[in-house]
Homo-oligomer: A and B are copies of this chain.
Amino acid sequence: MVPATIHDVAKKAGVGIGTVSSVLNNSRPVNKATRERVLRAIAELDFVPNPSGRRLSMGKTHTIGVVIPFFTISSQAERLRGVMSIIAGSDYDITLYSVETVTQRNKVFQRVPRRGRIDGLIIFSLIPTEDDFNRIKRGNIPTVLVEGYHPQLHSLPVDDVTASQHAVEHLLALGHQKIAYVGDYLDDPFGTYFSRNRYQGYSQALAKAGLPILSEYRRLGWHDRNEAREMTLELLQLPDPPTAIFTFSDEQALGVLEAARDQGLNVPGNLSVVGYDDIRLAEFAQLTTVRQNLFESGVQGVELLLNLIEFPQETPSRIQISTELVIRKTTAPPRNS
């Protein structure tokens, strides 16, 4: 069945379409009786305005785009939850742009940030290149980077380096000297540098403590629980295995815990583990980890964006996402220290 249009409503109510539009949007005063008639016609025809028509006419889409790389990773889903919790109460629609490959990444940056497609854009965990930035600028779409940074865009960055350094310092304070890093590849093809940053924080902590940074204690692989497990197994088979492991993410930390379990190693007795993110299952796993306030970062991201849509702001805001070390039960002093 063909949906009713504003013309159908107008005819049924015996008014012009301008009047119908007026009652729909409260855009100008309407006589009470007339309004009632219109309202009745709307109800009888079960009329809901066609968004494309409205968008075309207003130049506003009432849609917010969310760009999410690696939707498979729990941390991204948690951020998205934060976004949804706010959007549900607004009258914006959300359209999701999932990015799993570099091709997709580029396609999204090329096509998405445009007037007429979306009113605002949230980008998770991706650092725009200069080309990307120029496109966004040209598109003139309010944009917020969550867990990302660009000097000329509104961003909610995370100070990865410091957070990681603190996490490793916690291990050092417990007396660990042999601390390994299990993480993502340092140069990911998407142009982020999260793993690089976290590794840097790790290195800085060790350097500050006068400890060597051993290459065999650095294991990099695809962001995945199983790969982390494999890498950990290798680490544990080293002649001089680490007594603690700092990981790039909770997801990988879980792989580390599995490896320890495979080997019959007690955590934290024989091995301490620190994660990163504080995804929901970190609590269940009693994992000591760096809390990124994922849900909250999604909330803050949309709130900023919604505000930007209403009150455009030229000078980019930069609000650091707060971070804290949550000490649970996977860290303890090394056994024979």
Interface residues of A (CB under 8 A from B): 1-3, 46, 48, 50-53, 55-56, 61, 63, 71-72, 74, 77, 80-81, 84-85, 87-88, 93-96, 98, 100, 104, 110-111, 114-117, 135, 138-140, 225, 254, 257-258, 280-281, 284-285
Cβ of A88 to closest chain B Cβ, rounded Å: 5
A sample of 8 cross-chain residue pairs with beta-carbon separation below 8 angstroms, ordered by A number, consists of: A3-B114, A50-B116, A51-B116, A52-B52, A52-B55, A71-B80, A77-B77, A94-B95
Shortest C-beta distance, A11 to chain B (Å), equals 19
Q: Which residues of B contact A77 (CB under 8 A)?
A: 74, 77
* Closest A-B pairs by Cβ, 9 of them: A50-B116, A52-B55, A77-B77, A84-B98, A52-B56, A281-B281, A94-B96, A52-B52, A95-B95
Q: Which of B48, B55, B225 contacts A114 (CB 8 A)?
A: B48
Task: With A94-B98, A225-B284, A257-B284 given, name 12 new contacts (CB 8 A).
Answer: A1-B140, A3-B115, A3-B139, A48-B110, A50-B114, A52-B56, A56-B56, A63-B95, A72-B81, A74-B280, A88-B98, A94-B95
Distance in angstroms between the alpha carbons of A56 and B332 in the assembled complex = 63
- Chain B residues whose C-beta falls within 8 Å of the C-beta of A2 in the assembled complex: 115
Task: Count chain B CB atoms within 10 A of each CB in A51, A52, A110, A139 and give the residue with the most.
Answer: A52
A53, A111, A114, A135 pick with most chain B CB within 10 angstroms? A114
- Say yes or no: A53 contacts B56, CB within 8 Å: yes
Measured CA separation A204–B100 after assembly (Å): 44
Check if A46 sits within 8 Å of B104, measured CB to CB: no
Residue of B nearest to A58 (CB): B52
A61 partner residues in chain B, CB cutoff 8 A:
52
Candidates B74, B81, B98, B110; contact of A71 at CB < 8 Å: B81
CA distance A61 to B51 in the complex (A): 10
Find chain B residues with CB under 8 A from A81 CB.
Answer: 71-72
Q: How far does the alpha carbon of A55 sit from the alpha carbon of B52 in the complex, in Å?
A: 6
Q: Which residue of B lies closest to A135 (CB)?
A: B46
Report the Cα distance A45→B131, complex, angstroms.
15
**Residue in chain B with minimal CB distance to A254:** B284
Complex: A95 Cα to B95 Cα, angstroms:
4
Closest B residue, CB atoms, query A261: B286
How far apart are the CA atoms of A323 and B324 in the complex, in Å?
40
The CA of A44 and the CA of B127, in the complex, are separated in Å by: 25
Looking at the complex, which one of B50, B71, B85 makes contact with A84 (CB distance below 8 Å)? B71
Complex contacts, A110 vs chain B, CB 8 Å? 48
A88 proximity list for chain B (CB < 8 A): 98, 100, 104
Judge whether B84 and A96 touch: CB under 8 Å. Answer: yes
Contact B98 A87 (CB under 8 A): yes
Q: Please, which residues of chain B bring their CB within 8 A of the CB of A87?
A: 98
